[in-house]
Structure formats: structure tokens, C-alpha cells
A and B are shown apart, each in its own frame.
Chain A
Amino acid sequence: MEPSTTARRAVITAEALDDVLIALTAAGYQPVGPVVRDSAIVLDALGSAADLPHGRGTETSPGHYRLRDRSDGAVFGHSTGPQSWKQYLHPARRKLWSADRDPASGDFAPEPVAEVPVRYAFVGVRPCDLAAIRILNRALRRDENAEGPFIVAVECGDPGATCFCASTGSGPGCTDSGEGYDLALTELTGSAGHRFLVTVGTARGASILDAVPHAAAPQSAVMTARRIVAEARGRMGRTLPDTDLRVLLARSAEAERWDDVASRCLACGNCTMVCPTCFCTSVEDTTDLTGDHAERWESWDSCFDIDYSYIHGGAVRTSAKSRYRQWLTHKFGTWHDQFGSSGCVGCGRCIAWCPVGIDVTEELAALDETIEPETAR
């Protein structure tokens, strides 16, 4: 796809990243982005650009994640980590309301929790995660026109071995569509110096760029950025089988492969918690010792938890086989019917962070191989 020719583009130096953070803070945003902690790249508040993972890359494979040093000093030379923007958009635990008993009447009146909205600026959102934010908002029925966090996206030049965004159509670039970000960066580390090509996505993005020292983007920088993304596309770690996954999964309900994967699956739920689009929650009420105070909490739940399918009389999906099948079938198949797209953006988190390294692309390929071609396609 050709990059949009109408978008405003500029070039900033690597040092100017700090000015971007200063401009965001001055505009009332709280910048959050990638930082190194406990030998991984996680998301946290950014005080300055020095907090970003300069010169740190990642090495991933099924069930495996390690940091490595990069000789090019790239700031965004890593692929996705154990966390995603979901932790800000859809936190692991959230109080919905609390209620106290009125001593006179004995009644309860629920008090909604006064949430002070934080104006986040998400810095370093990968193209797969841009797509994930869209999908998550749709699943949570969030108002698409409401003012969301400021988004500084970064195109990917060095996909991880567990990435397959080219198969899901969500990366490794994001500037061709011009959607979902306020500013998009492409990191240039070549002989012309460490710079970023900036593509403006929105008016508020333009005003941040205006507050930062920048130069008009030379055509050569645009061409280099385009080449970096095209090369990244050619170096994807993984691919999805080239078939209609909805049809494949609909026909695979009785496949023997589910027994095979269930023997390896720990049913630990890590895949769903690291997935940037898995949104399931449970809602629970608590009371205190006096019985005069009650609270309602929403917290992350998972189709891998036996109690998630608990209905009157018992749980419906007691076997790990049925739970794994539920997850994969929903994510890649029935998600289309429910939300009009796949639930997967090819970020590869579930592959790297599955302790036993179960690989969704491999499982889908195995299903594809065993299902009769004429019935699957």
C-alpha cells in the first residue's frame, strides 16, 4: 500500500523525543510508554525520554522472552512485551460502586465511583496495538467519538520472531491508513543520523508537532521509512495459514488436535491476560464484616478459568480441551460474527508469554492440515 500522500510529515532528531514528551505534558497529558523493568519492556509513566529503552531489543520465541542490546541505539527496536495498553483502557481490577446502609431506613444506595479520568498519552504504540485498541473499544462498546488518549504510534522496523501482524493486516506499518494515531513515528537509525519521520494523524497531533523542533521531511526520509516497513513485512516471524479461519474453526469443532493441545496446555490463562483484545471480566460483590458496607468490583476473567463458564448447576467447559477450543475459536472465528473482525492482531504476546510455548499460528496450521481441503475452503 502506498503511504498517504496528503498527510503532513516532518523529521525530528532522536533528542527531540524529549521535547515531544515535554509538549505532551504541557498540553495536560500524562505520557506512558515502554520502560525496562525486571528484564522485560513493560509500560509505565515516562518522566523523560531517558526512561525509554534506548538500545534495547527483544528476542522472543514460544514461551521465551529476553532483552538484548542493539548496536544501533534504537529507542523502539523492541517488539511487544508482557503488557499492553489494555492495562490502562481496561484495568485488571476496577471498583464499580460502593454502598452503605442507611441507619434510619436500612436501605442501601449505591454510590458510583467517581473516576478521575487520566488524560494519557500512549507513547510507542505499535501498529498491532493500534488495531488492538480499536478492537477493544468496539468490544467494550466505547464511544468512538469520545476523546481518547493521545496516541504516538511507532511503525515496526524489526519484528519479533513471534510477530505475525502482516497476516492479520495490522502491521508492521500504520501510516498508509492514517487511522488511529495522533502522531506516528518511523525510527531512522542510518548514516544520516538517528532521527524520526513523523506523520501527523490529527489536529491535536499537529499542535504537538508544532511545539517540537522539526524540519520538513525530505523525500529521502519518506522513502527510507517506507523501505524499513516493507523490509519488516518480509521478515515476519510467523504467518497464519492462508485460509478462511472462520470456516476452518467452524469445521474444526471435533478435530483431534484439541486433545493434543490440551495435553500441553496448563490452562493457566496467561494467553488471555497478555492478549491486548481479550476483554472478559467477572463482576463480584463484597460485603464487610459489619454487613453495612458493600462494594461491586469488576476484574479480568478468562475463558481458561473453569468458573468462567459456571452457570446454574455447574461449569460448562470443565476440560482444558473445551476451554482452549473456546479461546481459539472465539479469537479467530466467532469474533467476526460478534464484532465484525478477527479478535487477533498478530502481536504474538500469547505465543511468547505462554509458559509452555503454545503457538496459535501452529495450532491453526495443524487444524488446517487435518481438515479436508475441500470442506475447509
Chain B
Amino acid sequence: MTGKPKVAVFKFASCDGCQLTLLDCEDELLALADAVEIAHFTEATRTSLPGPYDLALVEGSITTPEDAERIEQVRAQSKFLVVIGACATAGGIQALRNFGDVREFTQAVYARPDYISTLAHSTPIADHVPVDFELRGCPIDRGQLLEVITAFLAGRKPRIPDRSVCYECKARGLVCVTVAHGTPCLGPVTHAGCGAICPAFARGCFGCFGPARGANTPALIELLHQQGESPERIARFFHTFNAASPAFAKASQDAAAPEDMP
């Protein structure tokens, strides 16, 4: 390979917020354009160069048979495949369909449901092809995205800690909203990365970055219960952007049926 590494950005079922984060890297955008060749990024440029690509950033989940095929092609053309955001890493908010009947939804919403070709489930990219790195968040954090790109360019491991949001909250010197205000917060079971944005505004964590490794959701459910939250509300806390991540899917199920919990 001669010249700069070729980077491509692909979109699947998603809102575009994560790839927008790349354009949001205002201060670093020129350095990025210097360091890599943007070969395919429809949100930014009409130019589309054919593969193979050195690094593919993939946003979105797989929700149609066509996309299930397309991701295979992306994988085949990409040396490194990094998936970005809650859709690509957990199925996204659209994975709420996984807990319902998608045919029923299409019939309720569309005049001609027979025009709709969609899969019963919204699934993360890693369910379909091998993935080199999963960057969490809804949306992803700009600094973390740059770190991942930089790390892949330098051939090193990205510095993305897999720990609870509490680490970031305490490192910022914030006051714990659960302990000091009694506010329900998913921080202790949520993957760090956002920089504890919500606690900084005295809000509880919504779990945008999905479950932290080894998250003890039963213990948090018990705490939320003690804080006076109903089983339905607790189940709903886990039923957002990362609803279909295995740990949060199980948590919402556990919360809704507390008697079945271990």
C-alpha cells in the first residue's frame, strides 16, 4: 500500500449521529484529513472510492436482509472494522422490536405493510461478522472516536476503559446523585465514556454506553427498588438505546419479574 490509509464510513440502521461525531471533530478534522484518505463517507462527500479499506467505521444495526448481506461485503473489503455507537454494538433503540412482534408494528404503521421488508430483530454488527473493536455510546464520544482512529493508525490498542461511569463521575469531582439526592442512576452498571455528562447536570445516568463489563444489574435493581421505583419503571430504565445488549435485556426482564430473580 502506498500513500495514506484509506478510511471508509458505512451506515446501517441508525440516526447518523455517530458518523456526525466525526464531522464534529472540528479542531482535529484537518489533522485527520491529513493523516488518512477518506475513501467513502456519504455524509461528508460524494466521492466514493472502491475498497479495500484500511479502516472501516460502521454505524447502525442490521435490520434488513439486504443489510445482512452488505455488512459481509464491508467486512470482506476492510482490514480493520470498527463499529461505532449503540446501534452497531447493541442493536440500538430500534432493537425494542426484538421484544415485540414486528409484523404487528408494520401493520399498525404502514398503509401497505407488504412493501416493508424487514427482519424480526435488530442486531449488532458483531452478530454477523467479526468486529475488531466496538466503540460504545448513543452517540459516541468525539474524543473516544479520535482515540480509536489514532490507535488503529498507530497500530496500538485503543485506550477505552471498560469500567463504570462512576469512575468518570468521581474523577470530575461530581457529587453522586444517587447518594446525595436519591436520584435513580444507571452509572454503576454503565460503561464509561461519556464523561458522566448527566450527573454533571444532577441527572441520573441513562445508560447510553450500555453495560459495563461484569455489571451487577441485580444489585442495582434492588437499589432502584429501595429508592421507590416500580418494577415497570426499573424495567424501562434498561429498555433504551442498549435494550438488546444481553446484560440490559436480562436486567429489564429481571426487573419486570422480580420474583424470578436469583
| A interface residues, Cβ below 8 angstroms from B | 37-40, 42, 63-66, 82-83, 87, 92-93, 263-270, 273-274, 284, 286-291, 299-300, 302, 305-307, 318, 320, 352-353, 355-356
Assess the B175–A82 pair: CB atoms within 8 A.
yes
A318-B214, A356-B222 are contacts. A266–B164 as well, Cβ < 8 Å? Answer: yes
Task: List, in ascending order, chain B residues with CB within 8 A of A64's CB.
Answer: 179
Jot down 27 A-B pairs with beta carbons below 8 A, ordered by A: A38-B202, A40-B180, A63-B178, A63-B179, A64-B179, A66-B180, A82-B179, A92-B170, A92-B173, A266-B164, A267-B214, A268-B164, A268-B187, A269-B164, A270-B166, A286-B147, A287-B151, A287-B156, A289-B28, A290-B35, A305-B161, A306-B163, A306-B213, A307-B161, A307-B162, A355-B166, A355-B188
Which residue of A has the minimal Cβ distance to B36?
Answer: A289
Task: List, in ascending order, chain B residues with CB within 8 A of A307's CB.
Answer: 161-163
Task: Give the distance in Å from the alpha carbon of A64 to the alpha carbon of B179 in the complex.
Answer: 5
* Interface majority SS (helix, strand, loop, mixed), chain B: helix
Instruction: Decide if B153 is an interface residue (CB 8 Å cutoff).
Output: yes
Which residue of A has the minimal Cβ distance to B213?
Answer: A306
Assess the A355–B171 pair: CB atoms within 8 A.
no
Interface set, chain B 166-211, CB cutoff 8 A to A: 166-167, 170-176, 178-181, 185, 187-189, 202
Which residue of A has the minimal Cβ distance to B187?
Answer: A268
Q: Which 4 A-B pairs have the closest CB atoms?
A: A268-B188, A92-B171, A273-B170, A266-B188
Assess the A38–B173 pair: CB atoms within 8 A.
no
Task: Name which of B202, B214, B218 has the most chain A CB atoms within 10 A of its CB.
Answer: B214
Assess the A265–B150 pair: CB atoms within 8 A.
no
Which residue of A has the minimal Cβ distance to B177?
Answer: A38
Task: Give the distance in Å from the alpha carbon of A221 to the alpha carbon of B222 in the complex.
Answer: 49
Assess the B166–A269 pair: CB atoms within 8 A.
yes
Which residue of A has the minimal Cβ distance to B216?
Answer: A266
Instruction: Decide if B108 is an interface residue (CB 8 Å cutoff).
Output: no
Task: List, in ascending order, chain B residues with CB within 8 A of A302's CB.
Answer: 163, 167
B159 contact from A39, A273, A284, A306, Cβ within 8 A: A284
Task: Give the distance in Å from the alpha carbon of A267 to the alpha carbon of B213 in the complex.
Answer: 10
Task: Give the distance in Å from the alpha carbon of A267 to the alpha carbon of B212 in the complex.
Answer: 10
Interface set, chain B 129-159, CB cutoff 8 A to A: 146-147, 149-151, 153-154, 156, 159
Task: List, in ascending order, chain A residues with CB within 8 A of B235's CB.
Answer: none
Assess the B170–A42 pair: CB atoms within 8 A.
no
Instruction: Decide if B104 is an interface residue (CB 8 Å cutoff).
Output: no
A320 contact from B35, B156, B180, B216, Cβ within 8 A: B216
Task: List, in ascending order, chain B residues with CB within 8 A of A38's CB.
Answer: 174-175, 180, 202
